[in-house]
Structure 1
Amino acid sequence: GGYGVAPFYVREELLERIGTDRFGSLNIAEELGQHRFRVYDDARKYGYATMGFGSVFQLRAALDYLLRVGVPNIEAHTVSLAQQLNTGLVGQGHDVWTPKDNRSPIVTFRHHRDITLVRSTLEEAGIRISFKAEGEELRAGIALFNNSDDIDKLLEVTANWA
């Protein structure tokens, strides 16, 4: 979703325990007079203001897309790519912090090179990656939209650091 979307989930059996901290025209079930109100006792009690409908529709489309692709398919795809990256980095001699058989699409490794050089090399290649530990570690987060070519491209760059 876009700006202003903050999904909020509460199990139905906890609705009574988790109160609201504000009032608005959309969560009031009844006006009792003298600035007193009764809010809805269901999930509507959390929706006190008008939603950013455009952003909500974006979020809905994104969630529908993820459901169509399927969470198990996304996991299989991203974990496979992460394992490809992990194997390639280990083969290049990098210190890979992520265990080889990890079921996460995240791979963290140390590069042991000048941080300025590493940053500029990645930028020139059009690769976006997270710098951690004051830039000494890199964290690659593999996503649904990545493919094997993306991993190969990153490994081409990291081969020059090994």
Structure 2
Amino acid sequence: MTSAMAPLAARLSASPTDTALPNKAAFFPAGITYLDSGSTHPVSTGARAEIDRYLRHRALDPAERDYKLDEDGVRAKFATLVGADVDEIAFTQSTTMGEQLVLAALGLPEPGAHIVTDTLHFFGSFPLYEELTRLGCKVTWLRPKDGRIPIEDIERAVTPNTRLVAVSAVSTFNGFEHDLARITRIAHAHGALVYADIVHAAGCIPIDLHASGVDFAACASYKWLMGDFGLGFLYARRDRLAALKRTQEGYYGISEFQSHAYPLDPPGDTVADYAFAPTAMGHFAYGTYSHMGVAALTWSLDYILTTGVARIQAHAQQLVGHLKQELPRLGYKLATPAEARSPMVTCIYPGARKTLKPRLDAAGIEMTVSDNRFRASVSVFNDMSDIDRLLTALGRA
């Protein structure tokens, strides 16, 4: 092994027990200051090593002949991370797919059905609820006040005919965090159910789905779970499953199967006898899902659980706390509430993409810059020098 390859090999063999923060050693040096984990989290060296093992197995490498993909273990780790039971967790392709599966299972759209949501929910769901309105549902949109959705507004919006309250636990727009337990108490008191998008919560802030009481939740794995595209999780409370409408019949949800169609099969009155598992997988599973995503999470979820979400959050809060303090001094308008516990800071800035993006590109800084706002999101590999570099590149507003 050459000396140039030695550091790479050491990083690839790094164990999830390496939990000191910041942890730059667990990620490949990119030659940039990366402040965009809220969009796409970099793949760690440990997760890449697991993916490489899986790919060698798929390539029939004799050295990986005994490799086993740990699907059940990954679902169990995620359940532990978010305060759920493994039988309440199903694989899904993405957060959006999870949300739409929940709506379909509730029989939505249905003319006259009342749904409460807000404009700090994922903007990709805006068309979804607008289409439900077009199809006869009544959707109440709550608007933020000072970057927050007041709980009193939710109390006023939820009525005895409300079917569903759908929110993002943490807003992708500005990091505002809902009090899921209070929302659930309000909704349940009126006979409504609660769906939570937890893609900006799982892995970066402590979350306990059982304690919150929410009925359904979904997230992808390519953000704070440090996984990849094409794999996510759908949570459904065990006591809600029996009342849901089955809208698809997936092979991966079958717990019992006996064919009567092939030679030497036992005789039967149908082509097959089967039963669906009384679990989230039994109700929501379709067919195959991203095996490379499972391989990545085999390492990443171990890393997150070993490091501890509270420690990950505390590290991020040091960094975003400095941004919240310094950005207004430079003349930037914060859109993120001061008390937000998420690892993101958003500022409103007219013409941000046109004016600020060239400065950031020149400084080698990658983060979300939209037409009229920008968002910095930090993770376990970021340190205060990254934050200072951003502040210097931005300069005065």
Which TM-score band (shorter chain)?
0.7 to 0.9
Count of aligned pairs between the two proteins: 159
The residue type paired with residue 390 of structure 2 is L
Which residue pairs with 2:343 in the alignment? 105
- Do the aligned partners of 1:87 and 1:100 also contact (CA within 8 Å) in 2? no
Question: Could you list the runs of 5+ residues in structure 2 that have no partner in the other structure?
Answer: 1-226, 259-268
Question: Could you list the runs of 5+ residues in structure 1 that have no partner in the other structure?
Answer: none
> TM-score w.r.t. structure 2 length?
0.36
Find the partner of 1:17 among 226, 236, 243. 243
Query: Is 1:158 the counterpart of 2:394 in the alignment?
Result: yes
Which residue pairs with 2:188 in the alignment? none
The residue type paired with residue 257 of structure 2 is E
Deviation at 1:91?
2.3
Which residue pairs with 1:42 in the alignment? 279
Query: Is 1:130 the counterpart of 2:368 in the alignment?
Result: yes
Question: Deviation digits for residues 11-55 of structure 1, max 9, x if unmatched?
Answer: 222232335433344333235724664322234413342343232
SS in 1 for 2:257: strand
- Do the aligned partners of 2:352 and 2:369 also contact (CA within 8 Å) in 1? no
Give the distance between the partners of 2:383 and 2:275, measured in 1 at CA.
52
| CA root-mean-square deviation | 2.6
Give the distance between the partners of 1:16 and 1:114, measured in 2 at CA.
49
Deviation at 1:86?
1.4
Give the distance between the partners of 2:237 and 2:277, measured in 1 at CA.
16
SS in 2 for 1:102: coil
Deviation at 1:158?
1.6
Structure 2 vs 1, CA of residues 114 and 89 (structure 1 numbering), >3 Å: closer, same or farther? Answer: closer
Which residue pairs with 1:141 in the alignment? 377
- Do the aligned partners of 2:360 and 2:394 also contact (CA within 8 Å) in 1? no
Which residue pairs with 1:118 in the alignment? 356
Give the distance between the partners of 1:112 and 1:103, measured in 2 at CA.
26
Query: Is 1:61 the counterpart of 2:299 in the alignment?
Result: yes
The residue type paired with residue 157 of structure 1 is A
Deviation at 1:75?
1.0
Question: Deviation digits for residues 98-124 of structure 1, max 9, x if unmatched?
Answer: 344433322222446674231111112
- Which fold has the larger relative contact order, with Cα–Cα distance below 8 Å and residues 6 or more apart in sequence? 2
Query: Is 1:30 the counterpart of 2:257 in the alignment?
Result: yes
Give the distance between the partners of 2:286 and 2:352, measured in 1 at CA.
51
Deviation at 1:84?
0.5
The residue type paired with residue 340 of structure 2 is N
- Do the aligned partners of 1:30 and 1:39 also contact (CA within 8 Å) in 2? no
More helix by share: 1
> TM-score w.r.t. structure 1 length?
0.80
List, as ranges, runs of 4+ consecutive aligned residues in structure 1 with deviation greater than 6 Å.
none
Deviation at 1:139?
1.6
